[in-house]
Structure 1
């Protein structure tokens, strides 16, 4: 009887079990083309099903965790000059300094001061002695050990006026002693409530800087090739043909505590304007951008934008020693009343900020001065400032000389500041005051105008810390550089209150003193306070773990950068 095809194939498969390997190799010849295709399809289905099942099992019983790797390209406005915690003055300086250096404490980006190089600290009952215990097994980014001598060395430079550190005012009356290789003791002449913020100052390595003399300190190449104990260390930087620094490349510091960062490479690219920075971000040339001013879209429209208010106040500060017109109390009062802050917020900041008319960022005192151009004009007229020649500008005879009501505002070329200055010029021209504008590149502005106090009026911002201690901004001892009393304000009673506030450990009592200080400053009109802009940080969707909720300075966003990540890996659930 003739067998069917089905029966023949069944017989072949039965016999195949007894075939040798060589005989089995002829198997494809025993299958039809259709059978071979079917076999391949079945095998592919098996592989895919197995892979899907394995992946489902992994996803069900594992969780993604941060993994090392990835590149973050960040854009910043400005050019770094001093990657040094004692000298950093620009945003670019402070950003890179925050990455390369760390202190006994650090700001974690959530409004908290947490332990960094310090393992723990103690405060005496009278608030005069702060004892810090340094962690074991700490190393600089070059592998050298960190000890108490590095801390003493850093503070000695801060306190030495020859090194011209902007931080010096916060260390007046403080001595530091070494109890052993891992213990340092800070002794205060009198209680200073915000002292713990001082402990967040970046520590310098003594073995790197000890041979650099004060005259060479700000000129040293070490300011551009720093060694620190922060989360990252410098690999290299690129300069263009003019010598301007275009970018910095950083890698994780393997000795950073609590652990080395996850993101493998940081590249910082420097821009000259907000527009240039925004274009780079929108064209994906960078992954994140630190925006000090206005952004083109509403922060609410993008989950990749963090917008936070900062305790900083922008205003016009008057140098009454240079301008006779500004030395007149009535003129300064009229200037303050003639400012339409609502218009400034809408036109300059596009509603990305809040109006300010107080010298301190205190929530309990947040008020907005009324805008009244007519009242301003009346104040000037009553004080003898009139337009006698019909040119639209008021004048007044002072010491037998006719003085025009005119002065110059100096500021940097930041777009928001230029736009603000132009609007103020328009507002004050409407009441008969002629305002000239002098605009400078930020580096020239700081070196040639701000530091030597060569201005009649200056449009600038004051940055406060967690505790709005105004000592550096309003105490008479801070009138000269590196002090920050840019209004050159002097009032013995205010000086006494500023000193008193620093000794008040009770926060409510200290705030009452701040309010009294604020009231006295406002009555003398040494400045016209304008607004506090929001800070914006844009980042791509591939960056995770930021957790930024409260900062006092843009560079604080890096307080927990060691927790940021781009890459992930799977870990089995417990």
Structure 2
């Protein structure tokens, strides 16, 4: 119910009713029948082909989470920065997004969400280039063997990629294995339960792994994910230990001025890409569909296009501005 003393003025709508459905399909059916005026869904898989009887309003926003491929830097193989950078160069993330998750995500280049205050849009991974990636592997003496898999002496360029059994991430893992196989890297995908994945990541019992970070929030503070103090039993699963990274993260979380903090995070992004302890893969999209007469949503304004949605509840950020677009028709007898 509208709060008449709300600090920013009384909301336009007198009341909003939230209806809870047992399945996304039931919610979409209610939207199609006109029983509800809007439905929002992470990934938006069920909303791609929805066809409402009247005009509709569709808003697509990146969510504050991302999926990442982490290397275990404790292993001799992945202690080589040129190898990690070559693997990143040989991975076409845009193709992954299109072929495995139907384009319902956007690529992300560093652990800081694109478009947010902490991100520098000029600091990005170079475009995927499998030929250049193969050349870089050759530069560090990994040459193709008789079966096409690269080898340096007796060391075969082969490793296991750990992933949970989520259908979407499993498909991504298989697609990554196929892409890297084309440049002579042998990847065996190992699906495990979510609990097992988390446990093995914390104990460092993996070679490479795909996992996700969610609810990043408007203040990224990646200290717990990349500071060396968090490498053993913490969330720094890669085991990254770099004095420059440590200093930047310590200074950033202690700096009160936003502009100065942003500059520290920009330097962190640059150093993180130089080291490439992981490959950030994609950021999922949140899809909101509503009837066209529900107006006043700032996210529908082109000026707000691409703004990050900080948690599903953030879709109500502008709820006090919503209104129903109506008109009055006067009827009567003509003289």
TM-score band w.r.t. shorter chain: 0.7 to 0.9
Superposed counterparts of 1:461-540, under 5 Å: 461-463=212-214, 464-481=216-233, 483-537=234-288
Contact between 1:291 and 1:538, CA under 8 Å: does it hold in 2?
A: no
The answer for unaligned runs of 5 or more in structure 2 is 1-11, 114-118, 300-307, 323-335
Shift of 1:521: 1.3
* Counterpart residue number, 2:172: 420
For 1:283 and 1:316, the matched residues in 2 are separated by 37
* Counterpart residue number, 1:391: 147
Give the aligned length: 292
Contact between 2:120 and 2:266, CA under 8 Å: does it hold in 1?
A: no
2:20 pairs, out of 73, 89, 97, with 73
Contact between 2:42 and 2:284, CA under 8 Å: does it hold in 1?
A: no
Contact between 1:476 and 1:489, CA under 8 Å: does it hold in 2?
A: yes
Q: 1:502-545, CA deviations, whole angstroms, 9 ceiling, x for partnerless residues?
A: 12222121111111111111111101122222123567x6xx89
1:551 pairs, out of 296, 300, 309, with 309
For 2:44 and 2:194, the matched residues in 1 are separated by 15
For 2:203 and 2:26, the matched residues in 1 are separated by 35
2:67 pairs, out of 290, 311, 314, with 314
Contact between 2:42 and 2:285, CA under 8 Å: does it hold in 1?
A: no
TM-score, normalization by structure 2: 0.73
Q: 1:286-314, CA deviations, whole angstroms, 9 ceiling, x for partnerless residues?
A: 97563246445169988465431123332
Shift of 1:346: 2.0
For 1:300 and 1:515, the matched residues in 2 are separated by 43
* Counterpart residue number, 2:5: none
Q: Match of 1:344, SS? A: helix
Shift of 1:320: 2.1
Q: Match of 2:76, SS? A: coil
Contact between 1:349 and 1:533, CA under 8 Å: does it hold in 2?
A: no
Q: Match of 1:536, SS? A: strand
* Counterpart residue number, 1:290: 41
For 1:365 and 1:326, the matched residues in 2 are separated by 27
* Counterpart residue number, 1:437: 189
For 1:296 and 1:495, the matched residues in 2 are separated by 42
Between 1 and 2, higher relative CO (CA 8 Å, sep ≥ 6) is seen in 2
Q: Match of 1:380, SS? A: helix
Contact between 2:91 and 2:176, CA under 8 Å: does it hold in 1?
A: yes
Superposed counterparts of 1:267-286, under 5 Å: 269=22, 278-284=24-30
Contact between 2:109 and 2:280, CA under 8 Å: does it hold in 1?
A: yes
Q: 1:225-283, CA deviations, whole angstroms, 9 ceiling, x for partnerless residues?
A: xxxxxxxxxxxxxxxxxxxxxxxxxxxxxxxxxxxxxxxxxxxx4xxxxxxx5544445
CA shift in 2, pair 1:300/1:395, >3 Å: farther
* Counterpart residue number, 1:202: none
Q: 1:476-507, CA deviations, whole angstroms, 9 ceiling, x for partnerless residues?
A: 112244x3222221111211111111122221
TM-score, normalization by structure 1: 0.45
User: Which has the larger Rg?
Assistant: 1
For 2:123 and 2:282, the matched residues in 1 are separated by 11
The answer for unaligned runs of 5 or more in structure 1 is 1-62, 75-268, 270-276, 565-574
Shift of 1:342: 2.3
Q: Match of 1:438, SS? A: strand
Superposed counterparts of 1:171-570, under 5 Å: 269=22, 278-284=24-30, 288=39, 290-292=41-43, 294-295=45-46, 297=48, 303=56, 306-321=59-74, 323-361=75-113, 362-365=119-122, 367-388=124-145, 390-397=146-153, 402-446=154-198, 448-463=199-214, 464-481=216-233, 483-537=234-288, 549=299, 551-557=309-315
Q: Match of 2:78, SS? A: coil
For 2:315 and 2:204, the matched residues in 1 are separated by 31
Pairwise CA RMSD? 3.6
Shift of 1:551: 2.9
For 2:46 and 2:127, the matched residues in 1 are separated by 28
Q: Match of 2:61, SS? A: strand
Q: Match of 1:73, SS? A: coil
CA shift in 2, pair 1:359/1:280, >3 Å: same
Shift of 1:421: 1.1
